[in-house]
């Protein structure tokens, strides 16, 4: 070996722990020279001339790098590297060989050597190769530590996910029980309230029909008509509440589909609502004498009732409310529009207008309502495989547009 003293690059290693290097060579002069050079770089260097002793050491102690002669008298250098990687997977092996052939170099690399040096080698090459090898060993060890940390973190995350999933399932089950109890309560209250409402509505209707129509009885007839109307609206709201509760719980409403004339249904609904108000003009606008589809007539009547009730509530005295009905271009979809010229809906409320119990900020506390009507309207339309859209401008009015396939079951 040629011994020089040039300045060699130091390995970027943790200064708190000196890397452990094992040097194996049966040539005592080479062994001592290499040991002395590497100790100048403050490595912890063990030097042995026996291959058997080297095997004992790498199998029992940790090393960061082993520098071994390829051909020892008692043991092959490749065997030492195999034992090294079994004990210390991140350690690096460097071969020393006196045979500078490509075949020898490739053979050493194929057997797991990080690099090889041809004897005699200069000090700079030795220190540089060992420094690079130790840096690789350090990085491999760090990578293994990081992988282990990630695996531990992943195991922790999986455990937390399992715990979270269990908590979510428990919370969902508890919420489902609460919803079930609430829905049972709503159904019971609705049933208990509808019976007296039906009785009140029937009595008011009967008294109004039997009372003589005279100037003296006019106030009574007007009061009876208001009682009958209020009782009917309360009964409708109870039906809406039950439907909305079922829909929110994920239960499908049972639709009774049958051939239904949408034009006739709209005319009937408009006529009934016109009797409830003398402050608005309600009109049906259509060029079709009839539009028949397979729909649930009672549910669609409720949709129209909700939209017309809203239009009447939110329209000023003297306002006109139009119900427009047409067929699309290929006569497969009915288009129903309800337009008023009322207050309009604030733009910020439009994305939420079909949510349950949601009402416009501009009418809360001023115009009565439950906020469940449009929620039910949208769900009924969707159950018919239809769509509903709303367009509104403050101070100009609101337009609800519904599209219903004539064959709503497809």
Tens digits of residue pLDDT in 354-376: 886 555 554 444 444 444 578 88
**Tokens describing residue 256:** 């009774």
pLDDT of residue 14: 43
Cross-strand pairs, 403? 335, 387
Decide yes or no: CATH 1.10.287 for domain 167-248: yes
Instruction: Please report the pLDDT score of residue 261 as a whole number.
Output: 97
How deeply is 309 buried, as exposed, middle or buried, from its count of CB atoms within 10 A (0-12, 13-18, 19+)? middle
Mean pLDDT score of the chain: 81
Judge whether residue 73 has pLDDT over 90: no
Q: Using the predicted structure, report yes or no on whether residue 349 has a pLDDT greater than 70.
A: yes
Q: Residue 175: is it exposed, middle or buried by C-beta count within 10 angstroms (0-12/13-18/19+)?
A: exposed
At residue 262 the predicted structure's pLDDT band, cuts being 50, 70 and 90, is very high
Task: Say how far apart CA 77 and CA 98 lie, in whole Å.
Answer: 13
Q: Nearest-CA neighbor of 255 among 386, 366, 349, 358?
A: 386
Give yes or no for residue 140 having a pLDDT over 90: no
**H helix or E strand, kind and range, residue 285:** strand 281-286
Q: Are strands 292-296 and 257-261 parallel, antiparallel or unpaired?
A: antiparallel
**pLDDT higher than 90, residue 149:** no
CA torsion sign for 297, 302, 307, 308 is positive
Q: Is the pLDDT of residue 240 over 70?
A: no
Whole-model pTM? 0.47
Positions of CATH 3.40.50.2300 in the chain? 20-147
Confidence at residue 4, expressed as pLDDT on a 0 to 100 scale: 37
Rounded mean pLDDT of 142-155? 85
Report for 19-33, 137-151, 206-220, 366-380: range of highest mean pLDDT? 19-33
**Is pLDDT above 80 for 106?**
no
Fold of 257-405: Heat Shock Protein 90 (3.30.565)
71 three-class SS? strand
Q: Answer yes or no: are the C-beta atoms of 353 and 339 closer than 8 Å.
A: no
341 confidence band (pLDDT: 50, 70, 90): very high
The answer on pLDDT for 159 being more than 50 is yes
- Write the burial class of residue 88 (CB in 10 Å: 0-12 exposed, 13-18 middle, 19+ buried): buried
Q: Does domain 20-147 have CATH number 2.40.50.140?
A: no
| DSSP secondary structure code for residue 64 in this structure | S
pLDDT digits (tens, 9 = 90+) for 24-66: 998 888 889 899 999 998 999 999 988 899 999 999 999 999 9
CATH code 1.10.287 region(s) in the chain: 167-248
Instruction: Specify the pLDDT at position 366.
Output: 42
Per the model's pLDDT, the better-predicted residue between 371 and 291 turns out to be: 291
Whole-number percent of the chain with pLDDT over 70: 81
Ranges of CATH 3.30.565.10 domains, the chain: 257-405
**Residue 248: is its pLDDT beyond 80?**
no
């Amino acid at each position: 070996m040629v011994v020089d003293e040039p300045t060699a690059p130091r390995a970027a290693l943790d200064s708190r722990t000196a890397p452990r290097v094992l040097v194996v060579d049966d040539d005592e002069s080479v062994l001592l020279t290499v040991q002395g050079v590497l100790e100048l770089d403050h490595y912890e260097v063990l030097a042995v001339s026996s291959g058997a002793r080297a095997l004992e050491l790498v199998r029992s102690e940790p090393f960061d790098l082993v520098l071994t002669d390829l051909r020892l008298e008692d043991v092959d250098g490749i065997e030492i590297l195999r034992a090294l990687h079994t004990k210390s997977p991140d350690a690096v092996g460097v071969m020393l060989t006196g045979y500078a052939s490509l075949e020898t170099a490739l053979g050493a690399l194929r057997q797991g050597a990080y690099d090889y040096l041809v004897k005699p080698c200069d000090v700079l090459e030795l220190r540089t190769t060992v420094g690079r090898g130790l840096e690789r060993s350090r990085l491999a060890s760090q990578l293994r530590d990081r992988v282990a940390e990630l695996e531990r973190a992943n195991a922790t995350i999986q455990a937390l996910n399992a715990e979270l999933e269990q908590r979510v399932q428990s919370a969902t089950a508890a919420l489902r029980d609460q919803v079930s109890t609430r829905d049972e309560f709503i159904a019971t209250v609705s049933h208990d309230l509808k019976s007296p409402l039906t009785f009140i509505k029937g009595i008011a209707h009967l008294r109004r029909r039997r009372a003589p129509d005279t100037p003296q009885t006019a106030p009574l007839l007007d009061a009876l008509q208001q009682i009958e109307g209020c009782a009917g609206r309360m009964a409708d709201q109870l039906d809406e509440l039950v439907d909305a509760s079922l829909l929110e719980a994920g239960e499908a409403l049972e639709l009774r589909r049958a051939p239904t004339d949408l034009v006739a249904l709209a005319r009937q609904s408009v006529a009934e609502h016109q009797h409830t108000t003398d402050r608005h003009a309600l009109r049906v606008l259509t060029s079709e004498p009839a539009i028949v589809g397979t729909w649930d007539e009672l549910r669609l009547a409720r949709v129209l009732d909700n939209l017309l009730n809203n239009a009447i509530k939110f329209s000023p005295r003297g306002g006109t409310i139009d119900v427009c009905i047409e067929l699309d271009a290929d006569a497969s979809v009915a288009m129903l529009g309800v337009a008023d010229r009322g207050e309009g809906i604030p733009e910020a409320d439009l994305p939420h207008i079909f949510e349950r119990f949601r009402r416009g900020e501009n009418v809360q506390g001023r115009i009565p309502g439950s906020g469940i009507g449009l929620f039910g309207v949208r769900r009924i339309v969707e159950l018919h495989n239809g769509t509903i859209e709303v367009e509104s401008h403050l101070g100009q009015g609101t337009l609800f547009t519904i599209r219903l396939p004539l064959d709503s079951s497809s």
